[in-house]
């Protein structure tokens, strides 16, 4: 029984395997439509979500399985003071696999220690979000055809943005990746990730506050939302929220084959005028997330 709490829980070979399965699901959806017949996915969401929860649920339905769960802590026994450990033991009696999102870093890990079924981390606080990374990786693979020799810009809230943390971890295992970290000083990538991932693996990276200056180098621009819910005070949020707003003018010097990514939800950091630009990939990410979650559910349930 295996859980996925961190993207590094999956080897590079396993990631390649998931991409292959997702590509095959896209080509031959009918082949997969009964694979999870009789199986149940529990979605335990203690924090808001649109894409992650609904794509997990759509994934399970498209595999012929069923879904149960809750979408807010207030409607679960957490509101009565139940621990994550007890919730995980309980849900193990009713479902075959869990997808859990929680505002506390490490909660899905605790769940995995106590569950008797696989647990997937669907986002834990400002820490990690491995299944968004699966969506991001399939997008990169389908857009660029490779995971190596890419200059990848991460822009916005690199401090609290858990999707950034997981994607940097994932890309750290490929060669020739150059990381360009674009953020205000207050929202820089946490030093534990800089030290333990970038520096430890001798990866090339630069930090800057200026998006336009680095734009011409980028193969991928990964925009992020300033994570209001993780701020300690509203004033800081208000001061930083509009640090980067991507507009068509700012793309003047960008590569013709740049891929513009964003895990969504978008607030205002990408102008809607960019949505029609062929370089905009963020709604493809939404769709690809469902296929990668299908591939992951099959893997963790050990279904061929």
Residues of this chain that interact with ligand NCD (CB under 6 A) are: 51-52, 123, 129, 132, 162-163, 225, 227, 263-265
CB of 266 to ligand NCD, least distance (A): 9
CB of 287 to ligand NCD, least distance (A): 12
Name residue, tokens 């069923």.
Answer: 66
CB of 98 to ligand NCD, least distance (A): 17
Burial of 284 (0-12, 13-18, 19+ CB in 10 A): middle
Residue 278's contacts (CB-CB under 8 Å, 6 or more residues apart) are: none
CB of 176 to ligand NCD, least distance (A): 27
Q: Is the Cβ of residue 132 or residue 169 nearer to ligand NCD in the bound state?
A: 132
Q: Is the Cβ of residue 3 or residue 52 nearer to ligand NCD in the bound state?
A: 52
Interatomic CA distance for residues 173 and 151, integer angstroms: 14
CB of 38 to ligand NCD, least distance (A): 28
Choice among 101, 241, 262, 293 that is catalytic:
101
- Taken as a whole, the chain contains a residue count of 304
Choice among 51, 225, 241, 293 that is catalytic:
51
How open is the CA angle 199-204-209, to the nearest 5 degrees? 95
Interatomic CA distance for residues 180 and 215, integer angstroms: 10
Kindly compute the dihedral angle of the four CA atoms of residues 66, 71, 285, 295, in this order, to the nearest 10 degrees. -30
**Is 80 a residue of the active site?**
yes
Of 224, 268, 270, whose CA–CA distance to 251 is shortest?
A: 270
**Is 2 a residue of the active site?**
no
Q: Is the Cβ of residue 234 or residue 304 nearer to ligand NCD in the bound state?
A: 234
Q: What one-character-per-residue DSSP string does 75-95 give?
A: GSGGGGT--HHHHHHHHTTT-
Structure tokens at 161: 């943005």
Of 123, 120, 141, whose CA–CA distance to 132 is shortest?
A: 123
Structure tokens at 281: 């990939």
Interatomic CA distance for residues 62 and 66, integer angstroms: 9
**Is 129 a residue of the active site?**
yes
Choice among 35, 53, 102, 129 that is catalytic:
129
Q: Is the Cβ of residue 65 or residue 263 nearer to ligand NCD in the bound state?
A: 263
Q: Is the Cβ of residue 39 or residue 274 nearer to ligand NCD in the bound state?
A: 274
Residue 70's contacts (CB-CB under 8 Å, 6 or more residues apart) are: 43, 44, 45, 76
Q: Is the Cβ of residue 163 or residue 259 nearer to ligand NCD in the bound state?
A: 163
CB of 184 to ligand NCD, least distance (A): 16
Residue 185's contacts (CB-CB under 8 Å, 6 or more residues apart) are: 209
Cβ atoms 180, 153 nearer than 8 A:
yes
CB of 288 to ligand NCD, least distance (A): 12
Q: Is the Cβ of residue 85 or residue 280 nearer to ligand NCD in the bound state?
A: 280
Choice among 35, 40, 43, 52 that is catalytic:
52
Q: So which residues are the catalytic ones? A: 51-52, 80, 101, 129
């Amino acid at each position: 029984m295996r859980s996925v709490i961190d993207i590094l829980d999956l080897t590079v070979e396993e990631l390649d395997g998931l991409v292959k399965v997702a590509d095959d699901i896209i080509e031959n959806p009918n082949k997969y439509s009964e694979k999870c017949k009789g199986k149940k996915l529990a979605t335990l969401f203690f924090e808001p979500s649109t894409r992650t929860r609904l794509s997990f649920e759509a994934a399970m339905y498209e595999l012929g399985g069923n879904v149960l769960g809750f979408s807010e802590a207030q409607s679960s026994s957490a509101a009565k003071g139940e621990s994550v450990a007890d919730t995980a033991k309980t849900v193990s009696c009713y479902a075959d696999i869990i997808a859990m999102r929680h505002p506390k870093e490490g909660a899905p890990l605790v769940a995995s220690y106590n569950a008797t079924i696989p647990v997937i981390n669907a986002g834990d606080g400002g820490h990690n979000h491995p299944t968004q990374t699966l969506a991001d990786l399939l997008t990169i693979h389908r857009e660029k055809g490779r995971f190596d020799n890419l200059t990848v810009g991460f822009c916005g809230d690199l401090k609290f943005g858990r999707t950034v943390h997981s994607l940097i971890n994932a890309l750290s295992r490929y060669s020739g990746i150059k990381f360009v970290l674009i953020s205000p000083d207050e929202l820089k990538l946490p030093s534990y990730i800089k030290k333990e991932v970038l520096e430890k693996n001798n990866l090339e990276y630069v930090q800057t506050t200026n998006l336009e200056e680095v734009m011409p180098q980028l193969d991928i621009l990964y925009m992020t939302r300033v994570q209001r819910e993780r701020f300690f005070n509203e004033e800081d949020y208000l001061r930083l929220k509009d640090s980067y707003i991507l507009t068509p003018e700012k793309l003047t010097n960008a590569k013709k084959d740049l891929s513009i990514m964003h895990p969504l939800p978008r607030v205002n950091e990408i102008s809607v005028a960019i949505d029609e630009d062929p370089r905009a990939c963020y709604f493809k990410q939404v769709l690809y997330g469902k296929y990668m979650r299908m591939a992951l559910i099959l893997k963790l349930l050990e279904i061929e």
